Structure 1
Amino acid sequence: MSRWPRVVLFGDSLTQRSSHPNGWATHIAQQLQRQCDVLNRGFSGYNTDHAIQFLSKIIDAKLLQDVVFITIFFGANDAVLPECYTKQHVPVDRYQTNLVKIVEHFQSLGITSEKIILIAPPPVDAELRAKDLLESGDKPCLDRINDATIEYAKACVKVANSKKCRVIDLFTLMINKHLPTYLNDGLHFSDEGNSLLASELSTHVKELTKELDMNLPDWKDLCGVE
């Protein structure tokens, strides 16, 4: 084996934070021990405009060598309400176009649609989000609502279907659940939220890595232990 197989996770803070203890990336890394390196390319606060701006610098052909799959997880920041002070809002039509550009960038570098997993943005818990913003000292502007986020989730699923990629519709999976269980601040995942996404990803991970052997011989084989 000339290079170690790898997985690339690309997204915003919901990806950046996923390498924390009990994060969904940590679950995936545990699942793939001695099979793949798991590379976290999450950028807190980024929307798809930002991702497009730095795409060729963040993920190039060299990084994608021997990639077994890649996740694309944006939308939580794009869906910020346009009147909000953060200026992170990206209109849903441009968000959809940006996702297509991201997918096509990876495809141009040799990543097939089968190896691309889009993840739709999850719902928000408005009460928890408002409380967190108040406690953090930010301006009292409720920046995200589910009536807006659902449109971004739909757009993400639409792109995945049109480009024949894999997709996890996290919004639909979570919207009827008790959101405070899965979101610790109304936006970011609790341990339970991380476990939920990791579980949904697990089936895709198994399918995409089933041909991979454990890297390097077992120690018992090296020592001649029967």
Structure 2
Amino acid sequence: MVVAFAVVALQSNGGGGGSSGSDSIVPDDGSQLTELAEGEPIAEPGDFRDSPEGPTDLPSLDLAEELSDAGSSRSDAEAFAVEFLHLIVDTREEMDVDKMVETLVAEDADPATVSYFETSLARNKGSEIRRVWRTNEESWIRTQTIGDPERPDSISVEIAFSLGLDQDDDFRTWVTHRIDLVRDDDAWRVSRVTFRTLDYAPPDDAPISQALDGTGWRQLTLS
């Protein structure tokens, strides 16, 4: 199943933070919005206590490549997952998507994920619909490991955050992304990315924590 990566234009605020249909820059039919496969939440998140750092400023392909090669620990994988997610959800600037796929995505990655990168993501990077990760609002992370919990063979990281638009301060929607990673040539590589919506039009000033499902969530440290 494929779902819209961000909500279509809302017809009214309905008490939430979404933009009205008449004023929103988001097309009513959902066009120009990236699409990504709908996925399942992590089934058995670990009980970890540390708080990884969230994204800052604009995303960086160079930084993502550096973090991919930084180390084999769980915390190294989480740091890479956060920056990789920042790369694909923030569309304010153009990016060499082909290079991203070549350097950060596993050779045997999920074909639907690779197709999404090479088509929808490439089209949306630098487009007039400039999505942003709202780092002025809380974000959360949880992780499931395979193998040694601190030096896993593979890892699934789920990150919940508020997605917005650079041109519309009122537009926000709560989403989670699951990034599945594998160790490949002594580096972390992306094998699959999926998406879920927590709330299309959350109430103004409400925290995303009220919409989190399941256990294992830790709040990201945001500057």
Question: So what's the TM-score if we normalise by structure 2?
Answer: 0.33
* Larger relative contact order (CA 8 Å, sep ≥ 6): 2
Question: So what's the TM-score if we normalise by structure 1?
Answer: 0.33
| Structure number having the greater helix percentage | 1
| Structure number having the greater strand percentage | 2
